[in-house]
Amino acid sequence: MELKGEIKDIIYRNEINSYMIATFETNEEETTIVGYLPFIEKGDSLNVVGNFVEHPEYGTQFKVETFEKLMPESLESIEKYLSNGKLKGIGLATAKKMVNTFGKEIIHILKYEPEKLVCIKGINKEKAMEISEAFNSNLDIWRIVDYLQKYGIGPQNAEAIYKKLGSNTIEQIEENPYLLIDLTTKVNFAQIDQIAIKMGMDLESDIRIRSGIKYALKLATNNGHCAVLYNNLLQFVKELLGVSEEMIENNIIFLQTKNEIILEDRKNENQEWVYLENYYQAEKNVAETLISLDTYLNVKQIDGFDKKLKKIEKNSDLKLSEKQREAVQAIQKSNVCVITGGPGTGKTTIIKTIIELYKEEQKKVVLCAPTGRAAKRMTETTGEEAKTLHRLLEIGKTSSDELQVLGVDVEVAPLDADVVIVDEVSMVDIFLMNYLLKAIYKGTKLVLVGDSNQLPSVGPGNVLKDIIASEKITTITLNKIFRQAAKSKIILNSHKVNEGISIFTPNEGEENNELLNDFFFINEPNKLKILENIISLSTGRLKNYGDYDFLKNIQVISPTKKGELGTKELNKCLQQAVNPPEELKKERKYLDTIFREGDRIMQIKNSYDVYWEKHEPTLEIGKGVFNGEYGTILNIDETEKRIKIKFDDDKLVWYNFEELEQIEHAYAITVHKAQRK
């Protein structure tokens, strides 16, 4: 349905995505509207389209799907609009003078005859033109938001498009609707293509074919690839557009001459690959910089290394195996070195040894990891501070999507270090690796640590595995499971899976009394019974094997978010089983999620500016909560409209209700999230 009215008050606005909750006054009544409303201010007149929904706590609200911004009609509304702070040079006093002088005619004057404004005290001709330009710019924005809705592009993305194309956005898109493919992510190509054809675009137009080629490449990068095989690209675009291979090949050549795409003929593979230009440059930069760093003079090697290594082993609890000693020596001999191996193979011991060696030499070792959780664990296991790569490189507030759009042009802070050790490198995508390498001075040692058998990064590229496969960088593969780790069936089975060997079933290995009962395999094809098993295991069934408390010791992991056994549904079921509603437990609904006191939650984005405090052993105050950190909801305060969370490292953080998009339930998490613990 459709409502026409005025924004009387803005209750909440998310400055990042323009999501808004506002009081909306129509001729009949006052209601609450919610939705993505960019460029909207108090006093604006709107025509909104959507539906009334019932919020369990706040009652009836109007959920806005689309909207059109209208010119204010009453003198009071015009005055409010002019003085809302968006029009440079107009304050409340000036707005009153303008309305009192010209009445409703002021809208026409601002559009077409701004020179008449000079009759108002304080406005000269130059200022009048500035006010008119700002007013008309706002009109352009309204038209653009409304115009883009027919392409299936909502207000949230419309704002980003306007920022890139400016005031003549509509004209540029009318001329070439396929521009939208370059400007937004995960667009509906079929919808844009259909509209372009209705506007008269020839099916065999070069513009259409080039756009289809770039769309196909973008689709591949969304799935984690940096490039696609030429023949596969040809076939996909042919099916997508219904044009001949010859036309596609001609336009691939054109895009190549314009350096929008790169073709690479890998003679050793006898295959041709196609890249979007910024993905090719990122991959090329990573390869060339790694070689350049590695072949530079070894200026950071330690004199009398073997003697000093023996001394550290003697004076500490660091006892190296032959393979671990080989890894430490490889770091001494090479500027760039990869240390890889599965769980329990001693990667952390190598890191601690390198730290001790270089500390003795008064050298600076920098520790980092791709996620907040991984950096925190690195700090805990080494006793030294580790930072996230985003924070280390001072690109903390740049999202992964933005980094891909910016390509290789992001400026990073050079690293003051003698040795840089990066843990969990399997999570690092090609762009983040590129930015890291840009920050490393020649001569600095770089140690890349990770398990190449873990899931690859969410972003494009399989960096660690590709570096190892290239055989250009010194790589030490740890394959010995240490005695303590070898008692765990979990660790043993992880190695068996990697080797393609059948795993231990529950009864196997029982003749070895040293093996822990930490692994069970339940073969159950029925989804309902699987769910019943998960619930019973989470609510006491494991007590036979240890004093397991769900919130402290148990984590449910699923390969997917969706479906009956995906994390979304599992979280609802587990919340009901582990932390059911009680009269004294306060709750807060955010979108379709109910947060309850006692809930297990996870931070799902890096928040560098949020303040926290710790009270034990002494009061400590700091900033920053990072993606992957776990916590528990202690208190929901309806009066102050905020939630208090205690994270696992004892940080206490207050989140305003409108900031709850930063957290989600963590009774069940995906495999990707679990890997980043």
CA–CA gap between residue 421 and residue 367 (Å, rounded):
5
In this structure, are residues 263 and 274 in contact, taking their beta carbons and an 8 Å threshold?
Answer: yes
CA–CA gap between residue 411 and residue 402 (Å, rounded):
13
Q: Name the band, by pLDDT with cuts 50, 70 and 90, for residue 509.
A: low
pLDDT in tens, 525-551: 999 999 999 999 999 888 878 888 888
Determine the pLDDT at residue 404: 56
**pTM for this one?**
0.71
Determine the pLDDT at residue 262: 96
CA 568 to chain centroid, in Å, comes to 19
CA–CA gap between residue 460 and residue 439 (Å, rounded):
20
Could you tell me the two tokens for 555? 């984590």
Mean pLDDT for all residues in the chain: 86
Q: Name the band, by pLDDT with cuts 50, 70 and 90, for residue 372.
A: confident
In this structure, are residues 393 and 413 in contact, taking their beta carbons and an 8 Å threshold?
Answer: yes
Pairing of the two strands 271-276 and 261-266: antiparallel
Q: Name the band, by pLDDT with cuts 50, 70 and 90, for residue 409.
A: low
Cα R_g (the chain), whole angstroms = 30
Residue 317 has pLDDT above 70, yes or no: yes
CA–CA gap between residue 526 and residue 530 (Å, rounded):
6
The stretch 404-421 carries a mean pLDDT of 78
Determine the pLDDT at residue 17: 65
pLDDT in tens, 32-62: 999 888 778 787 888 888 888 877 667 788 9
Residue whose token pair is 């006892």: 319
The stretch 386-415 carries a mean pLDDT of 71
Strand partners, 10: 22
Determine the pLDDT at residue 237: 96
Residue 290 has pLDDT above 90, yes or no: yes
Determine the pLDDT at residue 495: 82
Please tell me which of 130-134, 136-140, 404-408 the model is most confident about, judged by mean pLDDT.
Answer: 130-134
CA–CA gap between residue 469 and residue 164 (Å, rounded):
40
Q: Name the band, by pLDDT with cuts 50, 70 and 90, for residue 674.
A: confident
Greater model confidence, 405 or 208: 208
Listed in sequence order, the DSSP H helices in 179-226 are 179-183, 189-198, 206-222
Residues 6+ apart with CB under 8 A from 639: none
Strand partners, 34: 21, 63
CA–CA gap between residue 367 and residue 198 (Å, rounded):
56
CA–CA gap between residue 431 and residue 180 (Å, rounded):
23
Determine the pLDDT at residue 279: 93
Q: Name the band, by pLDDT with cuts 50, 70 and 90, for residue 434.
A: very high
The stretch 211-231 carries a mean pLDDT of 92
Of 173-182, 404-413, 474-483, minimum mean pLDDT range: 404-413
Greater model confidence, 110 or 530: 530
| Residue ranges of E strands in 203-349 | 227-229, 261-266, 271-276, 336-341
Residue 15 has pLDDT above 80, yes or no: no
Residue whose token pair is 């000269």: 124
Greater model confidence, 397 or 494: 494
pLDDT in tens, 567-614: 999 999 999 999 999 999 999 988 789 999 999 999 987 776 788 898
- Phi, psi (deg, nearest 5) at residue 621: -125, 140
Torsion of CA 38, 41, 46, 50, to 10 degrees: 50
DSSP string across 357-395:
HHHHTT--EEEEESSHHHHHHHHHHHSS-EEEHHHHTT-
Determine the pLDDT at residue 401: 55
The stretch 123-138 carries a mean pLDDT of 81
Residue 247 CB neighbours (<10 A): 17
Determine the pLDDT at residue 85: 65
- Going by the DSSP 8-state scheme, the letter that residue 600 receives in this structure is E
Greater model confidence, 280 or 371: 280
Residue 406 has pLDDT above 60, yes or no: no
- Phi, psi (deg, nearest 5) at residue 583: -60, -40
3-state secondary structure (DSSP) of residue 614: strand
Residue whose token pair is 């999620």: 593
Determine the pLDDT at residue 199: 83
CA–CA gap between residue 509 and residue 441 (Å, rounded):
51
CA–CA gap between residue 654 and residue 639 (Å, rounded):
13
Residue 576 CB neighbours (<10 A): 12
Of 181-195, 488-502, 558-572, 661-675, minimum mean pLDDT range: 181-195
Pairing of the two strands 620-625 and 45-55: unpaired
- Going by the DSSP 8-state scheme, the letter that residue 627 receives in this structure is T
pLDDT in tens, 224-249: 899 999 999 999 999 999 999 999 99
The count of C-alpha atoms lying within 13 angstroms of the C-alpha of 181, restricted to the half-sphere facing its C-beta, is 22
CA–CA gap between residue 390 and residue 371 (Å, rounded):
8
